[in-house]
Amino acid sequence: MERVAVIGLGLIGGSLSLDIKEVFGSKIIGIDGSLENAEKALSLGIIDEISTIENLTNVDVVIIATPVDTVSEITKQVLNVISDDTLVFDVGSVKEEICLALENHPKRVNFVAAHPIAGTEFSGPDAAIRNLFRNKINILCDIDKSKKEISDKAFLIFEKLGMKLKFMKPAEHDRHIAYVSHLSHVSSFMLGKTVLEIEKDEQNIFDMAGSGFESTVRLAKSSPSTWTPIFTENKKNLLSSLDEYIKNLVEFRSSLKEGDKDEIFKMMKETNHLKEILNGINKNY
Amino acid sequence: MERVAVIGLGLIGGSLSLDIKEVFGSKIIGIDGSLENAEKALSLGIIDEISTIENLTNVDVVIIATPVDTVSEITKQVLNVISDDTLVFDVGSVKEEICLALENHPKRVNFVAAHPIAGTEFSGPDAAIRNLFRNKINILCDIDKSKKEISDKAFLIFEKLGMKLKFMKPAEHDRHIAYVSHLSHVSSFMLGKTVLEIEKDEQNIFDMAGSGFESTVRLAKSSPSTWTPIFTENKKNLLSSLDEYIKNLVEFRSSLKEGDKDEIFKMMKETNHLKEILNGINKNY
């Protein structure tokens, strides 16, 4: 793990760089479409040098942490130049498209499709932090399509960074993540949009935000550059989850309009079960 | 402030008791519809004795912290027994109905309609904590309908507990709070319901919750006994806010279906403005 390249120096790429540098003492080669980002990452000590994809002929690992609609194309370019023992992995939030796109690439065995479930609502090199991945789940898709030396190298990195591994088929991953993650983001963004449209007086939003609004719209601070491609790449699954969500809101609205307290109470009581499910998070980790 | 009665010994009533006891050295007289709750509050040291409304003839303050659909009736009973210099205030999340219901009561001048914007997703006497109200906004409605000695006494308590006061008409309060608080709760509860319905495998919810789901559904852990009456008491405003929210979700869905990346990006970018508004929370307090 002497030389590790990171393409995309935002929250995830930058945080991976910091951890890998600390844990393995690696030299980090940074690549970013924005020279400003790359230089900021260099000045923050996140990376050790700035380079380009063509120069990645002699590195141990390449991490692709760019917006999901660019991952397939960039990964192909990377696989075309790397050596036989270079591990390439991505960290994108949508997995079916990338796995399909690389299926027949001669260097497919060098690639691992990963999705570490970690992040904050912040973005860019400034948002990079140490230990972002400690005790977090990392979902690996189609791991049987990587050769053993490559998956072993990936497991070693993920383990040393404190991640817990979970294995899924790409389609299965995209379906689950649409409901549990992507829908949460849409829900939060649209809540924020609704309140901004109605509340012309921003002081009111500020004053009343402690009433539950602040945590519920936390995700609406997320980067549109990151999330627009995630939503469109996972369109099919996100549309289904949105349909279910809108259906439930319309049903709630109808119960409220009728003043059906029993039904409203029942819907909330059943949903309270999430308490036990989410408490597991603190219990097990 | 020697003798302070608190009716409704849950998160808000219990937390007020703890602070008032600490700050004013008051003796706290506790009343609750559930004897179990009252005894728990007594054993936790939140209150000093258990009593009933008929006995409140000789107290300095009565706080009404029961579910909002019971506040008007209980406040009337309290106003009927108290002395001329007793302050009575409620802490409910809906204000128009209560202000209307008490408008013509002969002791209306002893009443202050308050809504401290504070809370957690927990409930019951066990949930009571110290300093819950420090640096929080407390919205007072129709304060000109209280006599001066009474509003002065209320201001003193609120100030010593660290609250910042804001004044509104009841209808205005209910309209704003529907958008900023009540809609957040519905949004969160329905998100939780949608995910629970689809994800039969709870381990998946647990594993993926770090991806944004956990914070967005925090409010879905809230008490149905507290929130059912809030929603139904503020029905008119909540229906309007739900209509706006559903409209935005349907529009987002349509942009997603068409693959209109520019429009999706724009909606999110504009909503990002919440960052600056909410940052004020940390800046000013």
- pLDDT one-digit tens code per residue, A141-165: 999 999 999 999 999 999 999 999 9
What is the structure's pLDDT at B200?
Answer: 84
Place of tokens 């106003």: B79
B180:A246 CB<8 A: no
Pairing of strands B3-7, B27-31: parallel
A·B CB contacts under 8 A = 294
Structure tokens belonging to residue A66: 């760019």
Rounding to the nearest 10 degrees, give the CA dihedral for residues B34, B39, B45, B47: 50
Contact between chains at A253 and B244 (C-beta distance less than 8 A): no
- Overall average pLDDT of the A24-45 stretch: 98
Q: Is pLDDT of B283 > 50?
A: no
Which residues in chain A are closer than 8 Å to B257, comparing Cβ atoms?
235, 239
CB-CB under 8 Å, B211 with A177: yes
Three-state SS at A8: coil
Q: What's chain A's average pLDDT? A: 95
Question: How many beta carbons lie within 10 A of that of residue A73, not counting itself?
Answer: 12
Q: Are residues A156 and A240 in the same domain?
A: no
**Which residue among A107, A138, A168 closes a domain?**
A168
A225 contacts B265? CB cut-off 8 A: yes
Mark yes or no for CB contact B227/A197 under 8 Å.
Answer: no
Residue A224 has its nearest CB partner, among B93, B219, B268, at: B268
The residue from B144, B168, B192 where one domain ends is B168
| Predicted ipTM > 0.95 | no
Q: Which amino acid is at A226?
A: T
Q: Do B149 and B277 sit in the same domain of this protein?
A: no
Give the helix ranges, DSSP H, for chain A.
11-24, 35-43, 68-81, 96-102, 148-160, 170-177, 183-198, 202-208, 213-216, 224-233, 235-257, 261-271, 274-284
Range B193-210 average pLDDT: 90
- A77-133 pLDDT per residue, tens: 999 999 999 999 999 999 999 999 999 999 999 999 999 999 888 899 999 999 999
Q: What integer pLDDT is reported at residue A281 of this predicted model?
A: 54
Q: How confident is the model at residue A49 (pLDDT cuts 50, 70, 90)?
A: very high
**A33 in the same domain as A9:** yes
Tell me which residue in A190, A212, A241 faces B248 most closely, judged by beta carbons: A190
Q: Are residues B12 and B104 both part of a single domain?
A: yes
Q: Do residues B84 and B57 touch, judged by C-beta distance below 8 A?
A: no
Separation CA B173–CA B151 (nearest Å): 19
Cα separations in angstroms, A118 against A7, A88, A235, B226: 18, 19, 21, 33
One domain, residues A182 and A105:
no
Do B147 and B201 belong together in one domain? no
* SS3 category, A240: helix
Is the pLDDT confidence value at B281 over 70? Answer: no
Interchain proximity A216–B218, CB inside 8 Å: yes
pLDDT over 80 at A69, yes or no: yes
Look up the pTM and report it: 0.91
pLDDT band at B109 (very low <50, low <70, confident <90, very high): very high
pLDDT tier for residue B285 given thresholds of 50, 70 and 90? very low
Asked whether residue A121 falls in the same domain as residue A244, the answer is no
Judge if A36 and A130 occupy the same domain: yes
pLDDT for B284:
39
Q: Of the ranges A210-224, A250-264, B223-237, which one carries the lowest mean pLDDT score?
A: A210-224
From chain B, the residues in CB contact with A195 under 8 A are 179-180, 183, 274
CATH at B182? 1.10.3660.10
A7 shares a domain with A106: yes
One-letter amino acid at B6 equals V
Q: In the predicted model, is pLDDT for residue B201 greater than 90? A: no
Q: Cα distance from B156 to chain A (closest Cα, Å)?
A: 21
> What residue has token string 């019971």?
B70
| Neighbouring residues of A136: CB distance < 8 A, sequence distance ≥ 6 | A116, A117, A118, A162, A163, A164, B210
Same domain, B125 and B264: no
Q: Are A242 and B275 in contact (CB under 8 A)?
A: no
Contact B228 A268 (CB under 8 A): yes
pLDDT of residue B87: 98
Under the banding of pLDDT at 50, 70 and 90, the label for residue B4 is: very high
Domain that includes residue A260, residue range: 173-284
Looking at the DSSP assignment, which residues form a beta bridge with residue B111?
B88
How close, in Å, is residue A205 to chain B by CA atoms? 7
- Burial class (CB within 10 angstroms; exposed 0-12, middle 13-18, buried 19+) of A5: buried
pLDDT at B61: 98
Average pLDDT, chain B: 95
- Locate the chain B residue with the closest alpha carbon to A242: B253
Last residue of a domain, one of A105, A137, A168: A168
Q: For position B38, which CATH number holds?
A: 3.40.50.720
A283 pLDDT band, cuts 50/70/90, is very low
Q: CA of B227 to nearest chain A CA: how many angstroms apart?
A: 8
In chain B, how many domains are there? 2
Q: Are residues A152 and A263 in the same domain?
A: no
- Mind telling me how many Å the CA of A22 is from chain B's nearest CA? 24
Instruction: Tell me: do B107 and B78 sit in the same domain.
Output: yes
Give exposure, A223-241, as e/b (b: 16+ Cβ within 10 Å).
bbebbbbbbbbbbebbeeb
For the record, the structure tokens of B52 come out as 């009933």
Among A12, A1, A3, smallest CA distance to A129 is for A12
Closest CA to B177 of A85, A211, A29: A211
Residue A20 clears pLDDT 90, i.e. is over it: yes
